[in-house]
Amino acid sequence: MRTTYVLSGILKPRLQEDAAACIALTASDLYPEDSWNFVFGQASLYERVGVFSLARYGDPDLGKAEFNLCLLRTIKVATHETGHMFSMSHCILYECNMNGSNNLQESDAKPLALCPECQAKLCWATGADPVAQFKKLAAFCKAQGLTAEQAFYEKSLQALEECR
């Protein structure tokens, strides 16, 4: 499925004026041009639209560990593309959710969390309170059994609360 068609032909015309953004997901492979093999997702930095695919994340029906891996992959790509919809480019300074990835190994290696610079951009763009955000993220990760990510958010939360 062509990402350019989804972004320009489907999502952009339907984007409500008061919407922060609009993102679509599909189980089909995505590609921006016929010469590309695939992309995990694509979003516009300026149009507030994005799309991502679940096609290459594995089979969540194979058990709890595989389900959690598919869930984590889904969240990473969805949040990465959402970052683009808030005008955030790829991050090249730190290990960050906004790092680009060209294959599943690269995608799995990058963290769910944003680096300090990208986190500051997100808070500026959305008015989010990082303490409240990290509390919710830690609780979500705990409920989903994403223990490494839960630990990261709890440690980040502790550091922020010590600064207050």
Q: Which of 84, 8, 9, 10 is nearest to 40 (CA)?
A: 84
Which residue is catalytic, options 81, 95, 106, 162? 81
Separation of alpha carbons 129 and 160, rounded Å: 11
For this structure, is 81 an active site residue?
yes
Q: How many helices (H) and strands (E) does the chain have?
A: 7, 3
Residues in contact with 85: Cβ distance below 8 Å, sequence separation at least 6, in sequence order = 20, 21, 23, 43, 44, 45, 48, 49, 50
Phi/psi for 31 (5° steps) reads: -155, 140
- What's 145's DSSP letter? T
Residues in contact with 120: Cβ distance below 8 Å, sequence separation at least 6, in sequence order = none
Answer whether 128's CB lies under 8 Å from 122's CB: yes
Residue positions annotated with a catalytic role = 81
